[in-house]
Amino acid sequence: MSTTIIEVALNGPWTRKRQPRIPIAADEIVADAVACCKAGASVVHFHAYDVGTGDQTTQLAVIEEIIAGIRAETDALIYPAIRYMSNSEAIQADSGKRRYDHFAALGQRRKLDWLIVDPGSTNLVRYTDGLLDDAVVDINTPAAIRHGLEVAAECGLNPTMAIYDPGYLRLAHHLVGQNPRLKKPMYRFMFSEQLTFGFPPRTYALRAYMELYRELGISAPWMVAGLGTNVLPLVPEVVRRGGHVRAGLEDFELGSETGNVALVEATARAIEAAGGTVASTKEAQKILA
């Protein structure tokens, strides 16, 4: 029987303008995280926010308050977001250091479990009446990607690597192979319906990734996730193939009236209906050992 990790991505970069039910304040994030862990999540990902402005922040005090609150009530694996950058900032030579300074500080103090790396760049465009109104170019230079993996290696963190298209996976596997000090990565296949990148959440798409996995000889664990989508229809195939699932309002359809706890509960039910079991934190740690 397959043991399936559920990661919950609580809020993302959307702000409440695009995803009105996301938790913003530290106490809201902690409460949502704890409730989601009780519902079956063993990994928690969050974006910290400045309550005064409603914008994202990587201030250590805010992030540490959230982590401490979650750890006080759960044994979940935890990691925050990397620093958001404008396109002009992202192409600078020091962008990797600036993206990951807070991870390095928190990792050195053993506050974290995972570290996020996006091993590529892509256009994030929503299907809207004004197609380009919300368009963003997510830029991650090769040097910044290497820097993130180096921080992961130095701090003993598992890198979780977002795969927006097959090229991301090929580069990620290549760079991971060049750094023997790295802990086992978790590759996260990103699907979407409301945005134009990559594949929609279809079985043929997952099979394509699995065929590339076979060709490259990858043995690392993987999960399905996305932005502006619902990956629940993929769960039976994920369980059959031994993968894992991310749930939560960062990934789910924008403008949703469904909360994080309900999304985790639905994911747990789908895993069990497919014949799998939901992983505890200890089981998740074993999978990534």
| pLDDT tops 80 at residue 252 | yes
Using CA atoms, how far apart are residues 71 and 78, in angstroms rounded to an integer?
A: 9
C-beta atoms surrounding 140 within 10 Å: 23
| pLDDT tops 60 at residue 8 | yes
**CATH number assigned to the domain comprising residue 122:** 3.20.20.70
**Contact (CB, 8 A) for 10 and 252:** no
| pLDDT for 50 | 94
| pLDDT tops 60 at residue 84 | yes
Whole-model pTM: value is: 0.96
Query: For 8, which DSSP code?
Result: E
| pLDDT for 115 | 98
| pLDDT for 73 | 98
Q: For the chain, what is the domain count?
A: 1
DSSP output for 75-120: --EEEEPPPP--HHHHTSTTHHHHHHHHHHHHHHTT--SEEEE--S
Give the closest residue to 11 by CA, choosing from 38, 51, 39. 51
Using CA atoms, how far apart are residues 164 and 191, in angstroms rounded to an integer?
A: 7
Q: How confident is the model at residue 191 (pLDDT cuts 50, 70, 90)?
A: very high
How big is the chain by its Cα radius of gyration, in Å?
17
Using CA atoms, how far apart are residues 207 and 215, in angstroms rounded to an integer?
A: 12
The whole domain housing 226 covers 3-287
pLDDT in tens, 104-130: 999 999 999 999 999 999 999 888 755
| pLDDT for 135 | 79
**Contact (CB, 8 A) for 93 and 136:** no
Q: How confident is the model at residue 131 (pLDDT cuts 50, 70, 90)?
A: low
| pLDDT for 136 | 85
Using CA atoms, how far apart are residues 275 and 268, in angstroms rounded to an integer?
A: 11
